[in-house]
Amino acid sequence: MFNIEIEKKIINFIKKSPLGTTSTNIAKSLNLNRVTMTKYLAIIKEKALIDFKQFGMAKLWYIPVNLSKESFLSRIMTDITENIPEDKFKELFDKVGISLGEEINLMYVNFYAVDNLNFDRILDTYKDIGEKLGGSFNVNAIPSEKISVKIIESPFAEKNRKAMHKVLSVIFAKIAAINLGYAKALVKEKEDIDVIEVYLRKEDR
């Protein structure tokens, strides 16, 4: 039977050896037999809490450094959203969204080999953006009036989700405005799901 206290003891022991330690050292220090130690190390590694380096016949177990581009950018986003004043926050994210919208629009224009995206291609573009980011978007529209993008599965981490959906709304509005002449987007919450409403007529603002 798996014992969470033994897991904690193993992890804490390995933490004391940044360069790594052998399973024999762990077993002796914690008074565990080899079979039990092997089982626990395999389970803890499966959780990505530890890893090992192979040196000949020996394995050195260590705590991996949990640093990735995604976690790095997520931390920056969190600090920005928590510390920047609301008016500055909107100004900054509008600039980012507009710039990204222009770049992404150009990518799809080049992909389709056209001068402008028509209405149907804009809908396909919104859906494709969601898929490429790792999310799932349901896109519906009333031609010449409104495009609704329901974010079924958000590609963003929970703590940054609302902020990133706002940036995404600016991107969608910019893409629509470039190709259709005008667009204004808002993020609305409907039944615990965010929906980006892209309005295509000025009177609908």
Residue 97: which CATH number? 3.90.1520.10
Q: What integer pLDDT is reported at residue 96 of this predicted model?
A: 87
Tell me the pLDDT tens digit for each residue of 117-151.
Answer: 999 999 999 999 999 988 899 999 998 899 999 99
**Does 94 lie in the same domain as 195?**
yes
The single residue listed with the structure tokens 């002796």 is: 28
The pLDDT value recorded for residue 103 is 92
**30, 33, 34, 38 alpha-carbon torsion, rounded to 10°:** -70
In sequence order, which residues have a C-beta less than 8 Å from that of residue 106 and are 6 or more positions away?
A: none
Max CA separation in the chain (angstroms): 75
Average pLDDT over residues 97-120: 92
Averaged pLDDT, 193-204: 86
Domain count, the chain: 2
- Residue with the bigger pLDDT between 78 and 22: it is 22
Per-residue pLDDT at 48: 81
Q: Domain containing 133: what range?
A: 69-204
